[in-house]
A and B are shown apart, each in its own frame.
Chain A
Amino acid sequence: MNDSKIPAWVNIIVLPLINILFAFAFSAIIFIAVDVNPIEAAKTMISGALGYQEGIGYTFYYATNFIFTGLAVAVAFSAGLFNIGGEGQAYIGGLGVGLVCLGLDHTLPFWAILPITMFASMAFGALWAFIPAYLQAYRGSHIVITTIMFNFIASSLMVYLMVNVLNQKGQMAPVSRLFEPSAVLPGFHEIVGWFGLSFSESPMNLSFLIALVCCVLVWLLLWRTRWGYAIRAMGSSPSAAEYGGINRKRLIIIVMLISGALSGLLSLNEVQGYGQQLKLGFVAGYGFTGIAVCLIGRNHPFGIILASVLFGILYQGGAELSFDFPNIDREMIQVVQALVVLFSGALSLMLVKPTERLFVYLDAKKKSKTQLAAEA
C-alpha cells in the first residue's frame, strides 16, 4: 500500500542526498568538538579531492576500486546472496594478475598481456568465490560465514606465498620484483596524452574505463537478459523463482562466480596499475567498503558509480584533511565515512516516512491549489 506514494526520483535521488547531508551534519558536530571549523574542513576536503588534477586523479583511482567491489556485492545481492568475501576475492585476483605479469612481462607486449591479466584476475577471483558458493548451494553452509572465512584464508595464503615463494632473493620485504613497464596499465595522464590533452600524473589509470564498461555490462546482465531475470527473481522471491523453473543451486554458483570475477578485477587497478608489483595487503578494506557503496548506490550500477565517487572524495579529501589539520587524524576520517555508511545504510529507512509524508502533503497542497485555480 505504501510503496507507490512518492515519485521514483525522490527515492533514487532526494533520499540518498538527505541521508548524506545528515551524515555531514553529524560530522560537523564532531569537528566542532575537536576545535576544527567544519566549513574550513569541508573546503579542504572538497578542494583536496576535486580542486586540482592530481587530487581528482586520486579520487577516481579510489573510485575505480569501489566500483568493482560495489558491483560484485550488487550482483550477488540481486540474487539474495550476501557476498562479504570481496576482500579475499580481490586479493586472490591480484595473485593471478601478479603471476601473469611476472611470468610474461619480458616476452609479451602490453596489448597481449592485458587480456590475459584481465582473464586471470577474474578467474582467480571467481575461483575464490566458487568454494563458498558450492558450499552454500549444495551443503547449505551460509555464504556470509564462508566468504568471511575465505578472506582470512586468502590473507594467510598470500603471506605464505609472498614470504616463501614470490619474494626476491636477498630482499627482506615480502614484495615481488617490479613489473616491466610494458606490463603496467597506462595512467590516465598517458591516455589523454594520446589525444593531445594533458593531465597531471596520478594513479588513475585505464582500469577506471574498464570499471565503467563493467557497470554497463552488469546493468545489461541484470535488466536485459534472461539470466538477470533469473537472478533478480531468486533474489526477490525464491519460491516464485522455483515455480518459474529456475535452478537455484546452479544459479547460486553462477552468480557467485560473476561476483568473484568483478572483485578480482579490482587488482587490475591496484596491482597492474598502481602497485606495479605484488605485495601484501593491497586490498586494504576496499572489499568491505564495496558493501557500503552498493548499499548507498541502491544496488544499481549507476548509483554505484555515484557512491564510488563519493567514497573516492571521502578517501582522497580525508587524506588531505588529516594532512592539513593536526587535530584530525586518519581515524577521524573513518568516523566521517562511518557516519555516511550509518545514515545511508543502516538508517536509510529512517527518513523514508517523514519524506513520504512531506511529499504527500506537498502533493495535496498542489492539487488543492490547481483545484482552486480551476474553480476561479
Chain B
Amino acid sequence: MSQPHNQQNIALELCGIDKKFGAVHANCNINLKVPAGTIHGIIGENGAGKSTLMNIIYGFYIADSGDIKISGKTRKLTSSKEAIRYGIGMVHQHFMLVDNFSVLENVILGAEDGALLKPSLKKARTELERLATEYRLDVPLDALIEDLPVGLQQRVEILKALYRGAKILILDEPTGVLTPQETDHLFKIFDALRDKGVTILLITHKLREILAATNNVSVMRQGEMVAHRKTADTNKEELAELMVGRKVRLKVEKSLATPENELLSTSKVTYTDEMGVDRLKDVSISIKSGEIVGIAGVSGNGQSELMSLLAGLIKPNSGQVNIGQTCIDSMHPSSAAQMRELGVGHIPEDRLVMGLIKSFSAEESAILGYQNSPTYNGKLLNKPKVINQECARLMEEWDVRPRDPKLRSSLFSGGNQQKLIIGREVDKNPDVLLIGQPTRGVDIGAIELIHKRIIELRDQGKGILLVSVELDEIMALSDRIIVMFDGHIVGEVSAEQANEKILGMMMANIMPDELLSTTQQTTTGEPI
C-alpha cells in the first residue's frame, strides 16, 4: 500500500507495532504514517485494536516490538509523561476532569510549576487566553467544570493537551456525547488546529465523521491495519466493507408503519432522583402496536430514567403509566418482575451493568429476569439441561458466536452479548419492547442483523420504544421521534419530517420554526 504525502514532514510514524495480551493479538505489525498538519482518521469495529494502538502511542502500554517515530526520531514511550514530553496529547472518551475545579485549575492540574499555585495560575491564564484566540477555543476560564455543558468540557480537555505543548492530538470517540451542532463546531476547531500545524488523530466508528472531518483515513480490522485511504478518494460503502471484511448494507429497509391499538401510555409522569434532581418532568407518551417510537436527545436528558421507569426499576413521583388495564402510579408502583409479567420486555442501555452478569456463563445470563420461570425450574432444583438447550437455541436463532452456552458472558464480544440479550427478551414474546442503545459498541455486521430484527418485530405488531444516542439509528428505525431535553419532551416529529438539523435544534431545546405550526399542542417544553 502506498502512503500519500510522502514528500511532507511526517509527524508520527509507527513501524511494525506488535502487542499481545496473553493469547490475544491486539495489534499485529501496525505501520502508519501521519503527515504533520493533517487530520487522520482511524476507523474500525469494536475490538479491532484502535484503543490499544492509541494507548501505545500515548505511553499507557508498551509495544512488544516495533518503533514509534515522532517527527522522524525514534522514541521510547514508556509512560504518558514521556508521550506528553514529546508533544502527544490525548482526549479520552470519558473526560478526565475534576468536576468541582475551575477550568483554569483543571488545565494546570499535573502541570504546576512549583509548590505555590498562584504563579502557575497566572501563567496559565495568559497562555490559555492566547490559545483560545489562536484556536477559537473559547471557554470561561473561571467557571466550574460541573457547570459547563459537555461540549465545553471537551474543549477544556483539548486546551489541557495544548497547554502541555501537544503537537499531535489524539481524540478517542470525541462525538459520542455531542449534539450534531456541537459536533460541527468541534470539527471547525479541528480545522483551526490543523491550520496552525497541529496533527490530529481521530478515533471513531462513525463513518460519516471520518468523511466529514479527515484528510486521510486508516482502517483497522482484527488487530491489523487493513487499508490507508485519502478521504477524498473513498466513500462510506468502501470503508464499511473494509472494516467488516465483507459487503454490508448500511440502509435499513422498512415499509410504512401501520400502528393500531395503544399498548402503553404515560400521562404527566415525573420522577425526582435521590439527590432531589427532577429527571422527568410531565412526560406523556404513547406507544401503539406496530410502531417504533424513537427517543432522541443528548444522553443524560431523561431518556434513561424514562426507560427505567417503564421497566419498573424506578417509580414515578406523580403521573400514571397505563398498560392495558393496569395503571401504575406513585401509590401503586410496579417492580421489574411485574412489568415483565405485564408483557413489557426491556433491553437495557448498558448491557454490562444490567443486561447480563459478566461472571455468569452465557446460559445463566440468558435467563436473567426469567430465572423464576417454570420453564427453567422444577419444584426445588432448576433444570440445567433445559437452560442449556434454550440458550443453545437462542444462540442459533440470533447467530451468537461462539455457540458455547457454558462460556462466560464477559468473553463474548459486545455484539454477541447484545444479540443474546435481545434474543432473550424477544423470545418471551412481549407486547411492548423497550430498547436502549441496541447497537452501542456493536460491530457493523451485528448492527445489520439487530436493525433488521427490530423492524421485523414492529411488523409483527409489537410496540417498540427505542432510545439511542446515535441519531442515525433513531432516524433509520423510528416511525415517530420524540426529543427530550432536561427531563421534558421538547416535541415530536414524524420520521419523514426528521432530519439532523431539526433534531439537533430540538436536542438543544429549540423548537424549529417549520414544526411550530404542526406540533404546538404536543409540546410541553418551556417557552424559549
Contacts and interface: CB of A to CB of B under 8 A. Distances in A.
A244 B372 CA distance: 10
Interface residues of B, number: 37
B317 interface: no
B358 A233 contact: no
Contacts of B380: 225
Given A224-B381, A229-B364, A237 B21 contact: no
A229 B411 CA distance: 20
Interface stretch (A2-10, A151-159, A283-291, A339-347): A2-10
B381 A237 contact: no
Of A230, A236, A245, A247, chain B has the most CB atoms within 10 Å of the CB of A245
B410 interface: yes
A220 interface: yes
B369 interface: yes
Given A226-B372, A236-B357, A243 B336 contact: yes
A5 B411 CA distance: 11
Given A1-B21, A1-B22, A245-B340, A240 B368 contact: yes
Contacts of A246: 371
Interface in B349-387: 353-360, 364, 367-369, 371-372, 376-377, 380-382, 384
A245 B348 contact: no
A233 B357 CA distance: 7
Given A233-B357, A360-B22, A245 B382 contact: no
Classify the secondary structure of B's interface with A: loop
Given A220-B381, A225-B380, A232 B360 contact: yes
A225 B367 CA distance: 13
A229 B356 CA distance: 13
Contact of B356 (A3, A226, A240): A240
Interface string A358-376: 0010010000000000000
Contacts, number: 84
B231 interface: no
B353 A230 contact: no
A180 interface: no
Classify the secondary structure of A's interface with B: helix
Contacts of A229: 364, 367, 371, 382
B408 interface: yes
A226 B371 contact: yes
A240 B382 contact: no
A363 to B, nearest CB: 8
Contact of B355 (A220, A226, A240): A240
B22 A236 contact: no
B371 A240 contact: no
A239 B360 contact: no
Contacts of A1: 21-22, 24
Interface in B396-444: 408, 410-411
Contacts of A225: 377, 380-382
A245 B381 contact: no
Contact of A233 (B338, B368, B381): B368
Of A225, A237, A246, chain B has the most CB atoms within 10 Å of the CB of A237
Interface in A247-268: 247
B337 interface: yes
Of A224, A230, A243, A363, chain B has the most CB atoms within 10 Å of the CB of A243
A233 B312 CA distance: 18
Contacts of B372: 226, 245
B346 interface: yes
Of A229, A233, A242, A244, chain B has the most CB atoms within 10 Å of the CB of A244
8 contacts: A2-B21, A220-B381, A233-B357, A233-B368, A240-B356, A243-B368, A245-B312, A363-B23
Interface of B: 21-24, 311-313, 335-338, 340, 346, 348, 353-360, 364, 367-369, 371-372, 376-377, 380-382, 384, 408, 410-411
Cβ-closest 3 pairs across A and B: A245-B337, A245-B336, A243-B354
